[in-house]
Chain A
């Protein structure tokens, strides 16, 4: 009974809050809790005092190491001293390239407050990213509000993001608009049977369903198929003189 109780309490307590990130190389949470003896040697060898051992009340399994990106992010040391220090393998020494660490995944979670989404050039999360231009890129998008500016949207790419938390740490807002979350929360998953047509076509070296009829697009008849770009001052040939519409059109039956 007691053992079962302890086990249940353990299962309950192992539901750690999303902002608590495990050190690099940490085994999946369930295996981690079987391997980590809570000695704190990883904490001692962390040169930046990023890692700390949880205390009872932190809602992280008591005595296990974690960090919060918003407070002190992981500096992604090349030699990964925390992993080397772990005597049990709770931090897996298979991880030798810190760029392959997957501590969590940054998500630009609030597009309503992110300054770049408001059309400004904050860019701080992008600038501080240790994997700049891979893990976070700035994607150029037309700004429909002013209609004459661009928005440079910070965009996280999961295949490169280590979850170090530097972006979240440096977000200039009082509450970070970009946050590192556990992959389970941050990522969706495609169904196994989904196929992307353009990927399949690339792989097959051509369309799998033969050439398709290409219907003309009104106003773009003089363009190459698919070219919908609009140059400044471009006037579609068919609309040359704009006539008044509606009741001013002068139309008579």
Chain B
């Protein structure tokens, strides 16, 4: 079933444009592919996959080939025997549960928190987190199969969950979210073995596919919420600096994992500048890819220029 069959442009445009519009409606980014070529229309997506898989491969080199560049997993790791990295969200829960971690963990957590605080917390979500590939696949399949509806929880659910997981850690005296966290389960599963935790990852995939569009990463995941808080002063931001060229094709909204962040910048709602400063924006760059008019580009948060 084609989505184009039940979507009609408000004003019938010229025939050639109508056909291109129809195909755009079917496949977001189709126009960009036509204008820019497939490679440029998937530039940021491919770059992200390279980075995501590259990080994963760094972790896998040890168990697969005995090449121990990185030991551990995303929860805590040791690179080249010197660089400790620890997930600060885990440390927050551990401290709430009444533990004082050793200085390696605190240093590692500090390095990770400082990096994301500076460059943008949700870079983790789109450039590092392995669940991103799962939910991106679910979102892609959902678009392809034309699955509509379902029940999407409030986008603030994740922030409530973030608070509740810290509270639950304090009340139960354990790192509460780790009992269910699909992010660490997937990453640890790939490196150390899954057991039954692939079921939890499958659950996230099916939830995003059938129940809530972009439900997990965009609405539920408290880990994403934590990195969202670190994203408040992100240096790397997307700007809609060529927004005057926007032809309202809506492709960017269709592919954006956090579509609510686009409107203020693109349509100048409650702000004048074209920067997407919303802390939910993961700087994944997919909007840049799918835009046939090159409205978007990556820049810094200080670049408010418009052209």
Contact = CB atoms under 8 A, between A and B. Distances in A.
Interface stretch (A32-40, A71-79, A180-188): A32-40
B206 interface: no
B173 A34 contact: yes
Nearest to B164: A3
Given A7-B172, A13-B179, A55-B195, A37 B87 contact: yes
For A6, A85, A93, the residue with the greatest tally of chain B CB atoms inside 10 Å of its CB is A6
A197 to B, nearest CB: 42
Interface stretch (A56-64, A142-150, A202-210, A220-228): A56-64
Given A6-B176, A93-B102, A37 B90 contact: yes
Given A2-B161, A87-B102, A88-B102, A55 B197 contact: yes
B62 to A, nearest CB: 7
B23 interface: no
Q: Contact size class for A?
A: 35 or more
B258 interface: no
Interface string A45-67: 10000001111111001110000
B38 to A, nearest CB: 39
Contact of A88 (B99, B173, B180, B192): B99
Contact of A7 (B72, B94, B171): B171
Interface in A195-222: none
Interface string A168-202: 00000000000000000000000000000000000
A167 interface: no
B185 interface: yes
Contacts of B164: 2-3
Interface in B269-284: none
B135 interface: no
Interface string B49-90: 000000000000010000010011101111000001011001
Nearest to B107: A87
B30 to A, nearest CB: 40
A88 B175 CA distance: 12
A55 B191 contact: no
Contacts of B188: 38, 40, 53, 63
A10 interface: yes
A39 B75 contact: yes
Interface in B160-197: 161, 164-165, 167-169, 171-180, 184-185, 188-189, 191-197
Nearest to A55: B195
Nearest to A92: B102
Contact of A10 (B62, B176, B184): B176
Given A6-B179, A56-B185, A62 B76 contact: no
A61 B179 contact: yes
For B68, B188, B199, B200, the residue with the greatest tally of chain A CB atoms inside 10 Å of its CB is B188
A112 to B, nearest CB: 35
Nearest to B180: A6
Contact of B174 (A10, A44, A53): A10
A89 B94 CA distance: 11
A234 interface: no
A86 B108 CA distance: 12
B100 interface: yes
A200 to B, nearest CB: 40
A30 B262 CA distance: 45
A116 interface: no
Interface of B: 62, 68, 71-73, 75-78, 84, 86-87, 90-91, 94, 97-102, 104-105, 108, 161, 164-165, 167-169, 171-180, 184-185, 188-189, 191-197, 199-200
Given A55-B189, A87-B101, 17 more contacts: A6-B168, A6-B176, A7-B176, A11-B172, A34-B173, A35-B97, A38-B75, A39-B76, A40-B191, A53-B188, A55-B193, A56-B195, A61-B174, A63-B178, A63-B185, A88-B76, A89-B100
18 contacts: A3-B161, A3-B167, A4-B171, A7-B172, A9-B179, A14-B174, A37-B91, A38-B178, A39-B77, A40-B71, A40-B191, A44-B71, A53-B193, A57-B196, A63-B178, A63-B192, A87-B86, A93-B102
